[in-house]
């Protein structure tokens, strides 16, 4: 869509990660649903956007050193559909208040887990702390889409980052967040296998999901919004007959003498031969 985009990130608190590793399907689905519902509810508030928002989310479970760090990235257009037309946000570098979004996200996550037996075993302090929600403008979204595309089919570690692998240790390169310097991480083989395999998703789990007018059931609405935002096609007016008659067709010239060439005979194409039996 020809509009600015934002990148929204919802991170699972450290107190819940050990539980998420043991019950991945439950916690990953809850992470998707709670974060998407919180964003959609806040976007419907007329104080902020006042309409239906579109979201494309990708689950990302690893840090750069293969640590377990579940979070969801959303690519979100900087506007909503209010039922009658497209409405942009009030500010270019602001989409939704992240503090209010964090509180709403935490509440929806807690309410969803109350229906499961593990809720009473979770540390109660996790519901009093602030949950991390990050939002940043990404321009037209091409850079963010290219960044997110790397997590759709790739695994947690590429072969290019492996430095050495022996019976005693495995060494790979990684670059910490916020730094441009590469570092080396050396792990025992079993610890390396543990870190790598904890990012294997449950069988059949869908890690890319769409919400709002990006959802599969809203494709006609998405087409309507895109047609509304795209510039109208340029229609060229046909030339008048008088102007057309004044223009003489361009004639090819002889490559030897330079004189204009005139058609004298049309050679019909050869008839195709019958295929032998």
- Give the pLDDT confidence score for residue 132 in this predicted structure: 93
pLDDT at 48 > cutoff 90:
no
- Give the pLDDT confidence score for residue 240 in this predicted structure: 58
**For residue 94, what is the DSSP state?**
B
Task: Give me the residue label for tokens 């441009």.
Answer: 180
Q: pLDDT class for 17, splitting at 50, 70, 90?
A: very high
Phi and psi for 81 in degrees, rounded to 5?
-100, 120
3-state secondary structure of 243: helix
Residue 6's Cα: distance from chain center in Å?
Answer: 10
Listed by start position, the domains of the chain span 5-156+203-229, 157-198
pLDDT at 227 > cutoff 80:
yes
- Give the pLDDT confidence score for residue 145 in this predicted structure: 80
Phi and psi for 83 in degrees, rounded to 5?
100, -25
* Two structure tokens written together for 214: 């990006």
Q: State the Cα–Cα distance between residues 61 and 24, nearest whole angstrom.
A: 10
3-state secondary structure of 49: coil
Q: State the Cα–Cα distance between residues 244 and 261, nearest whole angstrom.
A: 22
Q: What is the mean pLDDT of residues 209-229?
A: 90
- Give the pLDDT confidence score for residue 268 in this predicted structure: 79
Q: pLDDT class for 12, splitting at 50, 70, 90?
A: very high
Q: What is the mean pLDDT of residues 59-88?
A: 89
- Give the pLDDT confidence score for residue 59 in this predicted structure: 93
Is the pTM value of this prediction over 0.85?
Answer: no
Q: pLDDT class for 269, splitting at 50, 70, 90?
A: confident
Q: State the Cα–Cα distance between residues 64 and 181, nearest whole angstrom.
A: 13
Length reported for the chain: 277
**Buried/exposed code over 130-168 (b: 16+ C-beta within 10 A; e: otherwise):** ebebebebbeebeebeeebeebeeeebbeeeeeeeeeee
Q: What is the mean pLDDT of residues 50-74?
A: 91
Q: State the Cα–Cα distance between residues 238 and 68, nearest whole angstrom.
A: 64
Task: Give me the residue label for tokens 């939002």.
Answer: 135
Count the neighbouring beta carbons within 10 Å of the beta carbon of residue 268. Answer: 5
pLDDT at 251 > cutoff 70:
no
Q: pLDDT class for 95, splitting at 50, 70, 90?
A: confident
- Give the pLDDT confidence score for residue 83 in this predicted structure: 84
Q: State the Cα–Cα distance between residues 95 and 76, nearest whole angstrom.
A: 9
Which residue did the predictor score with more confidence, 76 or 149? 76
Phi and psi for 111 in degrees, rounded to 5?
-65, -35
- Give the pLDDT confidence score for residue 143 in this predicted structure: 78
Q: Could you report the per-residue pLDDT of 118-173, keeping only the tens digit for each?
A: 999 999 999 999 999 999 988 887 777 887 887 787 788 888 889 999 999 999 99
């Amino acid at each position: 869509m020809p509009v600015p985009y934002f990148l929204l990130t919802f991170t699972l608190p450290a107190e819940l990660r050990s539980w998420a590793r043991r019950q991945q399907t439950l916690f990953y689905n809850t992470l998707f649903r709670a974060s998407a519902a919180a964003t959609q509810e806040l976007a419907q508030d007329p104080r902020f956007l006042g309409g239906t928002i579109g979201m494309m989310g990708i689950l990302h479970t690893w840090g750069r050193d293969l640590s377990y760090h579940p979070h969801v990235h959303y690519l979100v257009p900087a506007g909503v559909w209010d039922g009658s037309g497209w409405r942009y946000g009030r500010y270019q570098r602001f989409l939704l208040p992240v503090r209010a979004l964090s509180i709403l996200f935490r509440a929806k996550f807690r309410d969803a887990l109350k229906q499961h037996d593990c809720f009473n075993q979770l540390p109660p302090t996790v519901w009093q702390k602030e949950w991390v929600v990050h939002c940043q403008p990404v321009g037209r979204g091409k850079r963010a889409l290219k960044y997110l595309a790397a997590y759709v089919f790739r695994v947690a570690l590429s072969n290019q980052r492996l430095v050495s692998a022996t019976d005693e240790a495995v060494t790979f390169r990684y670059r910490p967040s916020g730094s441009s310097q590469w570092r080396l991480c050396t792990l025992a083989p079993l610890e390396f296998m543990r870190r790598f395999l904890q990012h294997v998703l449950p069988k059949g789990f869908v890690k890319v999901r769409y919400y709002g007018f990006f959802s599969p059931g809203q494709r006609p609405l998405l087409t309507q919004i895109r047609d509304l935002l795209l510039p109208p096609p340029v229609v060229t007016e046909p030339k008048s007959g008088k102007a057309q008659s004044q223009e003489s067709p361009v004639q090819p010239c002889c490559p030897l003498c330079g004189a204009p060439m005139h058609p004298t005979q049309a050679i019909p194409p050869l008839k195709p031969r019958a295929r032998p039996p």
